[in-house]
Amino acid sequence: MTFKPASLFACGLLLSLSTAVWAQFAVEEPEWKESDVPPPPAFDISKLITFEVSPNSALVYGVDPATISITQNDGLVRYVMVASSASGTRNVMYEGIRCSTGEFKTYARYSPEGRWTMVSTPEWRTMFGNMPSRHALRFAQAGGCDNAAVPLSVNAVVRRLKNPNLGMTQ
């Protein structure tokens, strides 16, 4: 089979026109902006839903379901994470996950004196980096995110945390 130069030119012209037409339908996303961060919510240690972060971890991680919030306009899931040791020591953090980018941010830490201390300049960090703890990634995988999207509701997050074998969109 041989192609004539005119037919090659016509094919090239059609391809370039179809690309130009397709580009007109592309929707530009507005620049992302994080919504105002609400103050850290009250939490109840007795209501934590725990999940495994690492089989070798000496810490048990959990989230109080009453602290989970979802803001659809910026695609964030915020929560209070509690890491407890066998000796009873606790690290408590108020955090947010941006499911679409695989990032998390720590907004505040709870002191042993019973007060929240806000992080002076909280920054988004990747959940996939080499960190001492991958609790945010495991929370996202356990139900905090629906793949790269925010879950439909807080109830969906809680159901998945309590029943890890449920599907992603349950």
What pTM was computed for the model?
0.78
Query: What is the C-alpha to C-alpha distance for residues 141 and 161, in angstroms, rounded to an integer?
Result: 9
pLDDT at 29 (0 to 100): 53
CB 32 within 8 A of CB 123: no
Considering the chain, what percentage of its residues have pLDDT values greater than 90?
Answer: 63
As given in the structure block, the two tokens for residue 141 are: 């995988």
pLDDT at 80 (0 to 100): 98
Q: Which amino acid is at 85?
A: S
Give the mean pLDDT of 22-46: 77
List the one residue out of 123, 53, 110, 111 whose CA is nearest residue 79: 110
Query: What is the C-alpha to C-alpha distance for residues 37 and 80, in angstroms, rounded to an integer?
Result: 13
As given in the structure block, the two tokens for residue 151 are: 């879950």
Query: What is the C-alpha to C-alpha distance for residues 101 and 6, in angstroms, rounded to an integer?
Result: 46
Give the mean pLDDT of 112-133: 88
Query: What is the C-alpha to C-alpha distance for residues 99 and 124, in angstroms, rounded to an integer?
Result: 12
CATH topology of domain 45-162: Lipocalin (2.40.128)
Give the mean pLDDT of 102-111: 95
Which distant-in-sequence residues (6+ apart) come within 8 Å of 128 by Cβ? 102, 137
The pLDDT mean for the chain works out to 83
Query: What is the C-alpha to C-alpha distance for residues 162 and 106, in angstroms, rounded to an integer?
Result: 24
pLDDT band of 153, cuts 50, 70, 90:
very high
pLDDT digits (tens, 9 = 90+) for 67-101: 999 998 899 999 999 999 989 899 999 999 999 99
Residue 18 has pLDDT above 80, yes or no: no
